[in-house]
Structure 1
Amino acid sequence: MIFEVRELTNLFPDYRGAGNGSIPVQAIMTDTRKDVPESMFIPIIGESFDAHKFINVAIEQGAVAALWQKDHEVPDSVPADFPLFFVEDTTKGLQDLASFYLKKVDPLVVGVTGSNGKTTTKDMTASVLATAYRTHKTKGNYNNHIGLPLTILDMKPDTEAVVLEMGMDRAGEISVLSRLARPDYALITNIGESHIENFGSREGIAAAKMEIAEGLKTDGHLIIDGDEPLLEDAKKEFQSISCGFDGKPDYLISIEQLTEELSRFSVKGESYELPMAGKHNVKNAAYVIALAHKLGLSEKQIQQGFRQLEMSGMRFEKHEGVNGALVINDAYNASPTSMRAVIRVISDLSSKQEKILILGDMFELGEQSESLHASVAEAIDEKIDAVYTIGKDSEKISEAVASKSPQTKTHHFNEKKALGHHVRSLLTSDTVVLIKASRGMKLEELLEDLVK
């Protein structure tokens, strides 16, 4: 049980029915297509839908109480004793309910944001904290003004630590999430170009990411990318910990070995092994180590957490391809920074000699989209044999590669089927294929042609 209905009367004093009863609520329901016994129904209003019209279905599916927006008439079919709590806005009501429940459970709260790597860092953080705390984390991409409160309300009452990913499209969104979550620790993985069309510059993106500090507890700590000049001011304004490869960060990272299967590195005189490829993931791991040290976790616990790491889907997923090829699906999302980073990982792979990139459009780059797509070519060296692009602006990647590295095969496709069939014909046991694009491109559909 997460709470009894009567606990909500102070939070939502305007109610009808058995609102002051001891009715247990075990879960939150927002989707009436699922059977959720002993749940509280929260009818969200979206751009093209209004869940209030499903109140009777919600009751049939197990709802024992509900929030209700005041400007909606209550249907006569709703039983008179069914608890309805009236609010001005059900989305705001959801957030208020999450804030109430978070204070009730009172776990350690870690907030994670950044242009790239926030989901990976969230997964790493939760895995390491789970060695010492009963830990809950954001599932999938539940990182916005609706997903984050739902994540909180999905916590078990005995949760000791919660790791909350915070995403954004526009200024002000992370401020809302941070003020709701009140993190003890806030991690900013990096400042990239994601959603730059809404901010105009990386400086605007940095300011928006810094909103995560607005809800930081008074004695809270900010953990940041020490290699990012745009975060320099944060070191002066907050209790901060910086992690980086250059200069004098609080946690200076030294790479010992990078392979396609693991990364070995050291910080603060301690050596760690991460079961992931890529220098960028090493930095993400350093943020987690800095947090773990503040919490008093041992080197052994941190390493155990890395060892048992379970990643969210479509992030460097490895598949056995046709003819024994290696197919890496990293199509969950993309920005120029993340695309360049993962291409460098592929370039450094030693287990496969023939390297093929399938790259699609990166969205929300605004007026700079063509130049930012072209910038991806900076990471493509002579170790890459072929670059195949699909989409509108991704053709700029092929053009830039053809100009910079004429020995690399390039071709721009207009259809996924043609692209998939072409690459399939090239696969051998010595081939690795990377699939990378923004989520809306749905390039994971190519796996049907490339994977056994």
Structure 2
Amino acid sequence: MFKVKELASYFPNGRGATQDSIQIREVMTDTRVEKKQSLFVPLVGENHDAHRFLMNAIKMGAVAALWQEDHELPKEIPTEFPVFFVEDTLRALQETSSFYLRKVNPVVVGITGSNGKTTTKDLTASVLQVKYRTHKTAGNFNNHVGMPLTILSMPLDTEVAVLEMGMSQAGEISLLSKLAQPRHVMITNIGESHIEYLGSREGIAKAKLEILDGWQQGSFIFDGDEELLRKYHQTPQAFACGFQSSSDVVINDIVLEENRSLFTIDEDLYELSMSGKHNVKNASYVVTLAKELGLTVKEIQTGLKQLQMSGMRFEKHMGLNGALIINDAYNASPTSMKATIEIILELKSKSKKILILGDMFELGAHADQLHKEVSTAITEEISAVYTVGEHAAQIIEGMKERNLDIETKHFKDKDSLSHHVQQQLNSDTVVLLKASRGMKLEVLLNDLLDE
């Protein structure tokens, strides 16, 4: 990565061997995980302060540390151990990642959106790595702490960095964009996630558009079917991708199958190794970017086929009695929940279709209404809908208002829910698990899977 003495030009107030050529290979924020040749960055949270673990960090491999100057340095720290005193360790972590990003100097791709940003990030990396040495955000490391750590885990020979940018409040994506200085940016869609804090879809759109605050005028790729982004169609270097003919990049000839999707752009046929119309649109963003970065149609087709998804996103498992269990419980919003239900409706291999749906978070005063609206995606091809949580029962209420002839039941706890579902599993059954991450619906897998 870099040498200790390189930090001295950014953080001149230090003690110990701060001018040494000691090699730093990793960054440590959690002293429970051994990291040899690492820089320890003690972060201060609401309920913890990692400064008290400096000695443990040294035992676990730290060779230097950032240190918040309002904290007293432990007397037992070796005199030669390099310590850089900073006003705020989080800000210093971000500054360190900014320095390292300039050192490596990759093409930076920034991705945000209410839904689909992790899928699009995975797709982007899968395609671009066909031609370039590509580094991407791991898991959900997409916030003001996670993105700097993603950058600092980048190999020195990285040519393209694909950075996912998440948020819950206005101003957060602006910070990330200014930090990453992306040459290319994507906004996957404008949904309802975080409407509790942002008030409206217009407020959400404004927050997502903060990704342009650090944009370096490469390409700006976005949802061409979204009215709230309509005014950006004429922006220089903007590419609106969508199903409507008014888009710059128009998606045609869509064929949705159980384990893949086919579509054309500019008469070129692409195959995506996942189903769903929303995933086809995500793939269109990636096709557009890849062409901008010089990939051939054949290279793009190769990348789309070799996709490896992040965990708990439409994971397929063998369930009891030969049932298919689909774990899509990493996160949920009204838009993504409806889109996932549509994929289940398209499944031809199973005729008995059970939906297990839990609460979607951060919807504030809109929660009941937005949960109820999920019912509009449900048809009588679904065999049963079971809900759990404070607001998810509204999905069933919406179904009752539409007089759907489907078995429904709301459960107060996951144990009774899993027991009820276990009795119904056979080789003709598919079960979907979908809810916000905090609902931890994935715990049901232990009871539903064929071990």
Paired AA for residue 154 in structure 1? S
Deviations 1:144-201 (A, max 9, x none): 0000000000001111111000000000000010000000100100000001000000
Deviations 1:328-348 (A, max 9, x none): 000000000000000011111
How far did 1:92 drift?
A: 0.2
- Does structure 1 residue 275 correspond to structure 2 residue 266? no
Q: Which residue of 1 aligns with 2:395?
A: 397
How far did 1:274 drift?
A: 0.4
SS in 2 for 1:351: coil
**Partners in 2 of 1:324 and 1:369 — Cα distance?**
36
Q: Which residue of 2 aligns with 1:203?
A: 202
- 1:183-194, aligned counterparts within 5 Å? 183-194=182-193
**For the Cα contact (< 8 Å) 1:362–1:373, is it kept in 2?**
yes
Q: Which residue of 1 aligns with 2:27?
A: 28
**Partners in 1 of 2:105 and 2:232 — Cα distance?**
27
TM-score, normalised to structure 2, is: 0.99
TM-score, normalised to structure 1, is: 0.98
**Partners in 2 of 1:280 and 1:314 — Cα distance?**
17
Q: Which residue of 1 aligns with 2:142?
A: 143
**For the Cα contact (< 8 Å) 1:319–1:328, is it kept in 2?**
yes
Paired AA for residue 196 in structure 1? I
**Partners in 1 of 2:61 and 2:387 — Cα distance?**
48
**For the Cα contact (< 8 Å) 1:374–1:400, is it kept in 2?**
yes
**For the Cα contact (< 8 Å) 1:402–1:409, is it kept in 2?**
no
Residue 225 of structure 2, aligned match among 216, 221, 227: 227
**Partners in 2 of 1:207 and 1:382 — Cα distance?**
37
Residue 296 of structure 2, aligned match among 298, 319, 322: 298
Q: Which residue of 1 aligns with 2:260?
A: 262
**Partners in 1 of 2:45 and 2:374 — Cα distance?**
36
How far did 1:255 drift?
A: 3.5
Q: Which residue of 1 aligns with 2:442?
A: 444
- Does structure 1 residue 70 correspond to structure 2 residue 76? no
Larger displacement relative to structure 2 (254-263 or 62-71): 254-263
- 1:27-426, aligned counterparts within 5 Å? 27-217=26-216, 219-426=217-424
**Partners in 1 of 2:28 and 2:59 — Cα distance?**
12
SS in 2 for 1:445: helix
Deviations 1:1-56 (A, max 9, x none): x0011111111111111101111111111111111111110001100000011011
**Partners in 2 of 1:257 and 1:234 — Cα distance?**
29
**Partners in 2 of 1:220 and 1:230 — Cα distance?**
22
**Partners in 1 of 2:55 and 2:420 — Cα distance?**
52
Structure 1 residues without counterparts, runs of 5 or longer: none
**Partners in 2 of 1:222 and 1:288 — Cα distance?**
12
Q: Which residue of 1 aligns with 2:10?
A: 11
**Partners in 2 of 1:234 and 1:81 — Cα distance?**
55
How far did 1:392 drift?
A: 0.6
How far did 1:238 drift?
A: 4.9
How far did 1:237 drift?
A: 4.4
**For the Cα contact (< 8 Å) 1:28–1:153, is it kept in 2?**
yes
How far did 1:380 drift?
A: 0.3
Q: How many residues align?
A: 450
How far did 1:450 drift?
A: 1.1
Paired AA for residue 206 in structure 2? A
SS in 2 for 1:362: coil
How far did 1:256 drift?
A: 3.2
Larger displacement relative to structure 2 (367-376 or 80-89): 80-89
How far did 1:403 drift?
A: 2.4
Deviations 1:252-271 (A, max 9, x none): 00133101100000011110
How far did 1:427 drift?
A: 1.0
**For the Cα contact (< 8 Å) 1:196–1:365, is it kept in 2?**
yes
**For the Cα contact (< 8 Å) 2:379–2:404, is it kept in 1?**
no
**For the Cα contact (< 8 Å) 2:31–2:56, is it kept in 1?**
yes
Deviations 1:196-251 (A, max 9, x none): 0000000000000000010001x322100000011122334452111000131111
Paired AA for residue 278 in structure 1? G
**For the Cα contact (< 8 Å) 1:381–1:405, is it kept in 2?**
no
**Partners in 2 of 1:32 and 1:62 — Cα distance?**
9
SS in 2 for 1:280: helix
**Partners in 1 of 2:232 and 2:173 — Cα distance?**
16
SS in 1 for 2:214: coil
**Partners in 1 of 2:227 and 2:254 — Cα distance?**
25
**Partners in 2 of 1:148 and 1:231 — Cα distance?**
26
**Partners in 1 of 2:318 and 2:61 — Cα distance?**
43
SS in 2 for 1:214: helix
**Partners in 2 of 1:215 and 1:57 — Cα distance?**
37
Q: Which residue of 2 aligns with 1:434?
A: 432
Paired AA for residue 386 in structure 2? Y
**Partners in 1 of 2:236 and 2:169 — Cα distance?**
23
**Partners in 1 of 2:73 and 2:88 — Cα distance?**
15
Stretches (4+) displaced over 2 A: 233-239
Deviations 1:49-71 (A, max 9, x none): 00011011111111111100011
How far did 1:405 drift?
A: 3.7
**Partners in 1 of 2:106 and 2:220 — Cα distance?**
18
The CA RMSD over aligned residues, in Å, is: 0.9
**Partners in 1 of 2:333 and 2:192 — Cα distance?**
6
What is the aligned-residue identity percentage?
A: 59
Q: 1:132 to 1:176 in 2, by over 3 A?
A: same
**Partners in 1 of 2:170 and 2:404 — Cα distance?**
41
Paired AA for residue 97 in structure 2? A
